[in-house]
Amino acid sequence: MNADLSPPALYVRTVALRSDTDSLVRHLPAGAPLAWLTGEDGLVAWGRAARLDLPGRPDAEDPTDTSRFTDAARWTEALAAKAAVEDEVGLPGTGLVTFGTFTFTPSSDGSALVVPRVLVGRREGRTWLTTVTDAPGVHPPELMYPTPEPRPIGPLAWSEGSLGREEWKSVVADTVDRIRTSDMDKAVLARDAVAEADSAIDVRTLLERLRRRFPSCFTFSVDGMVGATPELLLRLEGDRFTSLVLAGTRPRGEDPASDGRLAEDLMSSAKDVEEHGLAVDSLRTALAPLSEELSVPAWPHLLQLANVQHLATRAHARLSPGVSALDAVAALHPTAAVGGTPTAAAMRLIAEVEGMDRVGYAGPVGWLDGAGNAEWGIALRSARVEGARARLFAGCGIVAGSVPESEAAETESKFRVMREALTDPAG
Q: Which pLDDT score, from 0 to 100, does residue 249 have?
A: 85
Evaluate the omega torsion of the peptide bond into residue 334 and state whether it is cis, within 30 degrees of 0.
yes
CA distance 363 to 330: 11
Active-site residue identified among 186, 354, 375, 407: 186
pLDDT < 70 regions, the chain: 1-3, 427
3-state DSSP helix/strand/coil % of the chain, to nearest 5: 30, 35, 35
Q: Which pLDDT score, from 0 to 100, does residue 45 have?
A: 98
All domains in the chain, ordered by first residue: 11-151+161-422 (3.60.120.10)
Q: Which pLDDT score, from 0 to 100, does residue 252 have?
A: 87
Q: How far is CA 250 from CA 192, 245, 412, in A?
A: 20, 16, 11
Q: Which pLDDT score, from 0 to 100, does residue 3 have?
A: 65
Taking residue 218's Cβ as centre, other Cβ atoms within 10 Å add up to: 30
Active-site residue identified among 142, 169, 208, 231: 231
List beta partners, residue 301. Answer: 312
Q: Active site includes 231?
A: yes
Q: Which pLDDT score, from 0 to 100, does residue 390 have?
A: 98
Taking residue 295's Cβ as centre, other Cβ atoms within 10 Å add up to: 10
CA distance 125 to 40: 9
Q: Active site includes 186?
A: yes
Which of 409, 373, 405, 376 is CA-nearest to residue 394? 409
Q: Which pLDDT score, from 0 to 100, does residue 27 have?
A: 96
Residue 133 near residue 11, CB atoms below 8 Å: yes
Q: Name the amino acid, one letter, at 333.
A: H
> pLDDT tens digits, residue range 195-221?
999 999 999 999 999 999 999 999 999
Q: Which pLDDT score, from 0 to 100, does residue 379 have?
A: 97
Residues in contact with 255: Cβ distance below 8 Å, sequence separation at least 6, in sequence order: none
Q: Please report the sign of the dihedral spanned by the C-alpha atoms of residue 337, residue 315, residue 219, residue 265.
A: positive
Residue 168 near residue 50, CB atoms below 8 Å: no
Evaluate the omega torsion of the peptide bond into residue 215 and state whether it is cis, within 30 degrees of 0.
no
Q: Which pLDDT score, from 0 to 100, does residue 124 have?
A: 87
CA atoms within 13 A on the CB side of 195: 23
Q: Which pLDDT score, from 0 to 100, does residue 404 have?
A: 97
Evaluate if pTM is beyond 0.85: yes
